[in-house]
Chains A and B, each alone.
Chain A
């Protein structure tokens, strides 16, 4: 049995919908690009996905589902709970915009990717601890991984009819990040996903993530830039 690995970067909210879906919601934000990146050698067939100048597959406007991994609820390693901030904790919002429940188009969302029965973990954090408002310091995940069993090949398929067939032992990157030269925190852009939020706390540096007993994952650059989030 192979393992499909998806690495998530950038402004992406991992939502457990009321209907039972585990949905990655890519925030529509200035300069951020929703992309799927996979090694050429892992691609079996592409039908319809446009590619950008770097060869990444463009996801804007798409609702992607994955064939070839088990359906069902995801599992969450402790690192995910420790290192991926919760949207309802760092904001005063309580309710997502209704389009997310049905994966419907919205100005706030650039793409949806529905997952299945795999395991989430935080595989890398930014190098600095952060606080959100009065919260205690935490190391924020810079990379969130989702691993699922697969057999032979998997297909990323959109509601609009596009398909991307790849080898199932592949590592796929799903990103929603700005250009490399961009800096600064972007957490306030998650506000768009909430129906009733008036504020979202930005992360404020509060020390190093290296060495503490709570550190279970590797560290990344000190800046806390674009990070995934979980809901609720």
Chain B
């Protein structure tokens, strides 16, 4: 049985909707680009997805669903709960904008990607611990991984607008919503756009402690430049 692996990077919130969908919400933020990246060797057929100059498939404005993986609720490894901050915990918001429930267009959202019955984990964290406000220190996920069985040997990323991208069932796909390389600073405040009632979203503050070696560290750490804040664009989870 093949396993599809999706790596999520950047300003993306993983939402359990009231209707039961597991939806990745890519935040519409300045300089951030919503992209699907997959090795050309794993692409079987592309119908309609536009590519950027680096070969990434553009997702802006799309609601993407995945055919070829089981429907249903996902499961979460402990690493996900440890390393992916809860959006309601780091803000004073209590609810998302209503468009997210129905995956409707909204200026705060660049794209939606609906998932299925797979497993989430945090496979890579930033190198330094951070705190949000007066919260306890945590190591933030740099990459969130979703793995799902692909029993047919291929999967198709299908949009509500009629595009489709067929890839091998064993492919590793990156779904990113990042700014250009070299951009500095944290971007968590941009998550406020997808909250209906938030007045602030706390930014992560580096504690000076490393994420390497502690008992709580279960995943690999990511090296960053010494002068850069160690957590710039991380996924969040919502809503519980």
Q: Which residues of A contact B (CB under 8 A)?
A: 16, 18-20, 22, 73-79, 81-82, 84-86, 88-89, 94-95, 119, 133-136, 138, 196, 212-214, 216, 232
Contacts and interface: CB of A to CB of B under 8 A. Distances in A.
Contacts of B94: 133-136
B95 A94 contact: no
A19 B216 contact: yes
Nearest to B95: A136
Interface stretch (B14-22, B55-63, B141-149, B173-181): B14-22
B78 A79 contact: no
A20 B216 contact: yes
A184 to B, nearest CB: 24
B78 A78 contact: no
By DSSP majority rule, is chain A's interface helix, strand, loop, or mixed? loop
Contact of B78 (A16, A89, A214): A16
Nearest to A80: B76
Contacts of B105: none
Interface of B: 16-20, 22, 73-79, 81-82, 86, 88-89, 94-95, 119, 133-136, 197, 214-216, 218, 239-240
By DSSP majority rule, is chain B's interface helix, strand, loop, or mixed? loop
B136 A76 contact: no
B18 to A, nearest CB: 5
A216 B88 contact: no
A94 B135 contact: yes
A119 B74 CA distance: 12
B240 A18 contact: no
A78 B22 contact: yes
